[in-house]
Amino acid sequence: MTLASMKRKYEPRTVKLGPDGKPIATSAMIASLSAEGYDTVSAPFGHALLELARKDEKIVGLTADLAKYTDLHIFAQAMPHRFYQMGMAEQLLMSAAAGLTREGFNPFATTYAVFASRRAYDFIAMAIAEENLPVKIVCALPGLTTGYGPSHQATEDLAIFRGLPNMTIIDPCDANDITGMVPQIAAHPGPVYSRLLRGKVPSVLTRHKPDYKFQLGKAQTIRDGKDVLIISSGFMTMRALDAAEKLAVDGVDAAVLHVPTIKPLDVDTILAEARKGGRLIVTAENHSVVGGLGEAVATVLLTNGVTPEFRMIGLPDEFLEAGALPTLHEMYGISVDRVAKQIRNWL
Partner 1 sequence: MPAVRIGAASNVSLEMRAWNIRRKALLMGEVQGQGYIGQALGIADVLAAAYFHALEYRPEDPEWEGRDRFLLSIGHYAIALYAVLMEAGILPEEEYETYGMDDSRMPMSGMASYTPGMEITGGSLGQGLGIAVGMALGLKRKGNPAFVYNLMSDGELGEGSTWEAVMSGVQWKLNNLICLVDFNNQQADGKPTEALAQGDERQKWEAFGWHAQRVDGNDLEAVVTALNVARETDHDGPRVIIFDTKMCKGVDFLENREITHFVRVEPDEWAKALAVLEKGKPQ
Ligand X SMILES: Cc1ncc(C[n+]2csc(CCOP(=O)(O)OP(=O)(O)O)c2C)c(N)n1
Contact 308, 273 (CB under 8 A): no
State yes or no: residue 192 binds partner 1 (CB under 8 A).
no
CA distance 12 to 1: 22
Contact 174, 202 (CB under 8 A): yes
* Residue 212 interface partner, choices partner 1, ligand X, none, CB cut-off 5-8 Å depending on type: none
Min dist. Cβ of residue 35 to ligand X (A): 24
Sheet containing 192-196: which strands, arranged edge to edge? 83-85, 59-63, 106-112, 136-140, 192-196, 168-170, 261-263
DSSP 292-331: SHHHHHHHHHHHTT----EEEEEE-SSPPPPS-HHHHHHH
CA distance 32 to 29: 8
What is the pairing mode between strands 59-63 and 106-112?
parallel
What is the pairing mode between strands 168-170 and 261-263?
antiparallel
Total residues at interface with partner 1 (CB under 8 A): 47
Among positions 1, 8, 80, 103, the unique one binding partner 1 when judged by CB under 8 A: 8
State yes or no: residue 63 binds partner 1 (CB under 8 A).
yes
Contact 46, 73 (CB under 8 A): yes
Min dist. Cβ of residue 217 to ligand X (A): 31
Enumerate residues 6+ apart whose C-beta is below 8 A from 5: none
* Residue 335 interface partner, choices partner 1, ligand X, none, CB cut-off 5-8 Å depending on type: none
Interacting stretch for partner 1, rule CB under 8 A, among 46-54, 83-91, 241-249, 259-267? Answer: 83-91
CA distance 251 to 227: 9
Which of 275, 267, 297, 284 lies closest to 341, judged by CA? 284
* Residue 127 interface partner, choices partner 1, ligand X, none, CB cut-off 5-8 Å depending on type: none
Other residues' Cβ atoms within 10 Å of the Cβ of residue 303: 9
What mask of x and - would describe binding to partner 1 in positions 132 to 161, judged by CB under 8 A? ---------------xxxxxx---------
What mask of x and - would describe binding to ligand X in positions 75 to 114, judged by CB under 6 A? -------------x-x---------------------x--
State yes or no: residue 115 binds ligand X (CB under 6 A).
yes
Q: ∠ CA 326-332-337 to the nearest 5 degrees?
A: 60
Among positions 13, 21, 210, 277, the unique one binding partner 1 when judged by CB under 8 A: 13
**Which residue's CB is nearer to partner 1, number 41 or number 86?**
86
State yes or no: residue 55 binds partner 1 (CB under 8 A).
no
What mask of x and - would describe binding to partner 1 in positions 269 to 308, judged by CB under 8 A? ----------------------------------------
Min dist. Cβ of residue 89 to ligand X (A): 9
The residues that touch partner 1, with contacts defined as CB under 8 A, are: 3-4, 6-10, 12-16, 23-26, 28, 30, 63-69, 73, 85-89, 91-92, 114-115, 118-119, 147-152, 322-324, 327
The residues that touch ligand X, with contacts defined as CB under 6 A, are: 65-66, 88, 90, 112, 115, 119
